[in-house]
Amino acid sequence: MPVAAQVVVNGASNGAAVDNEFLQGITNKGLRAVLAQVQERDPHQPEFLAAVKEVATALAVLSARCCPQPVFDRRPEPVFEKRPEMLPVFGMMCEPERAIVFRVPWLDDAGNLRVNRGYRVQFSSAIGPYKGGLRFRKDLTLSVIKFLGFEQMFKNALTTLPMGAGKGGSDFDPKDKSDAEIQRFCQSFMTELYRHIGAHTDVPAGDIGVGGREIGYLFGQYKRITALHTGALTGKGLDYGGSQIRPEATGFGTVIFALAVLKDEGKSLKGKRCIVTGSGNVAQYCVMKLLEEGATVLAMSDSLGYVYKPDGFTMADLEQVMAIKSRHSGKLRDFKAPGAQYVEGRKPWELNVPVDMAYPCATQHELNLEDATNLFKNGCKYVFEGANMPSTDRAIAFFHKNGVVFGNGKAANAGGVAVSGLEMSQNRIGLQWSREEVEAKLTDIMNTIYRTAKVIGFREDRLNFDCLQRCTMNTIYRTAKAASIEYNTTLDAGANIAAFLRVGEAVLAQGAV
């Protein structure tokens, strides 16, 4: 097959790559050539390059070399030594199938013409229609969208559902905008986006700045233009084609993934002291699940600062946070509760208090090496990512080196897209499943992945089928752990390897397309 023939950079096979930090630690000449080409094409896209480097590091099994306790007493097995035909496939997967950039004109409440930039990057359709959220945020760039789409490709693969990967959004800032302005913007945005999406082509969903209200406006405009009531978006309201359990799925799933890890160690969340960053949808439901499991949540944050409660947040406190954040203009500094301390312009990772677990649920690269060092100093043994790539490469390397259990976002926060995939299925057949029916469907997914895990010795009675998200996240956990054992590496790298192989096999089978 042509795509598997050789690695070519600027017309030269396996050419010498520039020796810089991006290539640091990569010894495989072919992989260095692939990375050099990615860097040469997109030198000014730091977020995207960081996402590519993270996966490349996992596939080279570099994390096993800094892991103090490998799974077995044997040398790590880099993926491209075991499967050399997959190296050109990785290079192909680093280039999106399509990147769409467009103008979004709209009128504000004063009648002034405003213009924003819209994006949709369709990264991979190898295993299904493009699937991934829309983000509205003032600092959004093509680099961020590409990083999110690249991450989405691996995350979607871990769910075992037939979903490709895409990501989109705009540099529109919904904060301090009126409902009428948000509606006009969403309608203008969809007036261009509708050309590129559809139930069997590309199915966007929500993300930061795009909640139920925005999805409603976007879907309404799509329906108005196309005269089609189809599953062209997910995250819809239950009254017009949405799915049960979708709002809770990402935050709940992150905690359930953590529960699966703790269960293997004979532990629970009860009494664990946790820091959660963010205060949006993911963080809110992450905190809710932690409190239900008996954990103590010490802090939550937003883009302006954080709230620290020495005795821990209560359900009543969380309800107040949800009420504040139900408005785009809501700020966490408005939170009031006995003993609560608000710290302006800082991140809660700086707290010098005993911490057992960290849940970064805010945004990319929010947790750096300094933060990781402080968390470890304060006793943190587990980090589970609720956001997309919130930890920097150096922070992740520090966690691995010091034996901190690290669940990356591709695995730990995949519960949301899994339920979005089930919403797509419901839309296609014209039915809305009950909560129990959705649970049963995900149990089937769980059993499929279990058969893969079983070959390395997992017993069915160790798995938990008691709720929808638990089924999904245990599926992902067991899949990631299976790969980590096969390649003698960390759980984090195992998730990347398992996802890459699933997409890569499909790419290899379909040829140079």
196 occurs within a structural domain: yes
> 102 is in which domain, residue-wise?
98-242
Measured distance CA(10)–CA(278) in Å, rounded: 42
Per-residue model confidence (pLDDT) at position 76: 53
- Residue 265 to residue 268: CA distance in whole angstroms: 9
Measured distance CA(352)–CA(341) in Å, rounded: 14
So what's the pLDDT on residue 413? 84
Q: Where are the alpha helices (DSSP H) in 276-382?
A: 281-292, 315-325, 369-377
Q: Can you give the pLDDT at residue 265?
A: 87
- Asked whether residue 137 falls in the same domain as residue 256, the answer is no
Q: Identify the pLDDT of residue 66.
A: 43
H/E element, 13 = strand 12-13
**pLDDT value, residue 258:** 87
Q: Which helix (H) or strand (E) holds 208?
A: none
d(CA 469, CA 443): 10
My answer on whether 272 and 394 are in the same domain is yes
The answer to whether residue 167 is catalytic is: yes
Q: Side chain identity at 142, as an amino acid letter?
A: L
Residue ranges, the chain, pLDDT below 50: 1-19, 63-74, 442-469
Q: Single out the residue of 512, 508, 513, 500 nearest to residue 157, CA to CA.
A: 500
Same domain (yes/no): 362, 302: yes
- The CA distance from 26 to 97, in Å, is 26
Q: Which of 226, 242, 258 marks a domain boundary?
A: 242
Instruction: Tell me how many domains the chain contains.
Output: 3
Question: Tell me, what CATH number does 390's domain have?
Answer: 3.40.50.720
216 & 325 share domain: no
* Res 468: pLDDT: 45
Residue stretches of the annotated binding site: 131, 152, 155, 206, 250, 281, 420
Same domain, 82 and 213: no
Kindly name the residue from 53, 138, 146, 167 that is annotated as catalytic.
167
Can you say which residues are annotated as belonging to the binding site for substrate?
Answer: 131, 152, 155, 206, 420
Nearest Cα to 258, choosing from 442, 68, 102, 491? Answer: 491
Q: What is the pLDDT of residue 58?
A: 86
The pLDDT of residue 360: 97
- Asked, for residue 371, whether it belongs to a domain, the answer is yes
Binding residues for NAD(+): 250, 281
- Residues linked to residue 302 through DSSP beta bridges, in sequence order: 305
Residues 329 and 372 in one domain: yes
* 206 residue type, one letter: G
Q: Is residue 209 part of a domain?
A: yes
DSSP-based three-state secondary structure for 246? helix
**Do residue 195 and residue 288 come from a single domain?**
no
Q: What is the pLDDT of residue 474?
A: 58
Are 379 and 397 within one domain?
A: yes
Nearest alpha carbon to residue 138 among 175, 87, 191, 96: 175
pLDDT of residue 473: 54
For residue 465, what pLDDT is reported?
A: 31
Domain identity same for 187 and 317: no
Report yes or no on 465 lying in a domain: no
Domain boundary among 412, 436, 470: 412
pLDDT value of residue 361: 96
Whether 464 is in a domain gets the answer: no
Contacts of 10-18 spanning 24+ positions with Cβ under 8 A: 10/37, 10/40
Q: How far apart are CA 168 and CA 101, in angstroms?
A: 9
388 found inside a domain: yes
Which of 393, 412, 431 delimits the end of a domain?
A: 412
18: Cβ–Cβ under 8 A, 6 or more apart, which residues? Answer: 36, 39
Residue 123: CATH number of its domain: 3.40.50.10860
Residue 255 lies in a domain: yes
Residue 75 and residue 144 in one domain = no
Same domain, 338 and 379: yes
DSSP conformational letter for 245 = T
Residues 168 and 203 in one domain: yes
In a domain, 398, yes or no: yes
* C-alpha distances out from residue 75 to 90, 457, 470, 488, Å: 23, 21, 33, 7
